[in-house]
Amino acid sequence: MVPKYKRVLLKLSGEALMGDKSFGFDNAVIAHYAKDIKSIVELGVQVAIVIGGGNIYRGMNEAETGIERAHGDYMGMLATVINGMALQAGLEKIGVYTRLQSAIKMEQIAEPYIRRRAIRHVEKGRVVIFGAGTGNPYFTTDTAGSLRAIEINAEVILKGTRVDGIYTADPEKDPTATKYNTLTFQECISQNLRVMDMTAFTLCMENQLPIIVFDMNKPGNLLRVVRGEKVGTLVKG
């Protein structure tokens, strides 16, 4: 089976790693993600990953916490590196070669982010996990995902979520919400569909980088997406 996509960037939320817990990691979720990622690596797909940090630290209201925004964002970046290390361990446990690259230098645990080196790693079949966001406060990990995908010439961003696509309303709150199979970038903007934050979304739109939003928690979905099956919602130009 020839995959539809040769090089992808997988964007995962930190909250997804919690499973049913209220904080931290669920080992079963990490094992499930690792197994699904391995299935597309074995198909010959080149994979890079950006993961959030919301299961450990989410930038909270400055008025409530007393922590200024920039300081809190750096704390969140460190949380993404912890998540990257956890996913790296899960992947290497089942024989997938990985590299963790950090936008903030921490040589003992991760390579510094170097674009050409990242591209070389994925060309050699290694899964590259990008940690510490963009390395700058005021930018989300969605923006980091869009930026890294463009930098390494990924063909698509695969946004793995808890829902199976983009809906007219939040399907977890509104049972009458209906799902879109495909959307244009302009339709998402005009209908105020929050696929990503606007900075991340605009980067994708300006660079004609398609986004597929799909349910990462359903085993085998990732493989179906890279095969080109109709899974989730495709956003394109």
pLDDT in tens, 12-64: 999 999 999 989 999 999 999 999 999 999 999 999 999 999 999 876 667 77
Task: Write the pLDDT tens digit of every residue in 110-143.
Answer: 999 999 999 999 999 999 999 999 999 999 999 9
In the chain, pLDDT over 70 holds for what percent of residues?
99
Give me the residue spans of the domains in the chain. Answer: 7-236
pLDDT value at position 66?
Answer: 85
pLDDT at 76 over 90: yes
Assign 85 a pLDDT band (cuts: 50, 70, 90). very high
pLDDT value at position 65?
Answer: 78
The tokens of 193 are what? 């569909």
Q: Rounded mean pLDDT of 99-109? A: 97
pLDDT value at position 59?
Answer: 66
SS3 per residue for the chain: CCCCCCEEEEEECCHHHHCCCCCCCCHHHHHHHHHHHHHHHCCCCEEEEEECCCCCCCCCCHHHHCCCHHHHHHHHHHHHHHHHHHHHHHHHHCCCCEEEEECCCCCCCCEECCHHHHHHHHHCCCEEEEECCCCCCCCCHHHHHHHHHHHCCCCEEEEEECCCCEECCCCCCCCCCCEECEEEHHHHHHCCCCCCCHHHHHHHHHCCCCEEEEECCCCCHHHHHHHCCCCCEEEEC
Q: Rounded mean pLDDT of 196-225? A: 97
Identity of the residue numbered 212? I
pLDDT at 190 over 80: yes
As a whole number, the mean pLDDT across the chain is: 95
The tokens of 179 are what? 């799902």
Q: Rounded mean pLDDT of 80-92? A: 98
The third-level CATH classification (topology) of the domain covering 7-236 is: Carbamate kinase (3.40.1160)
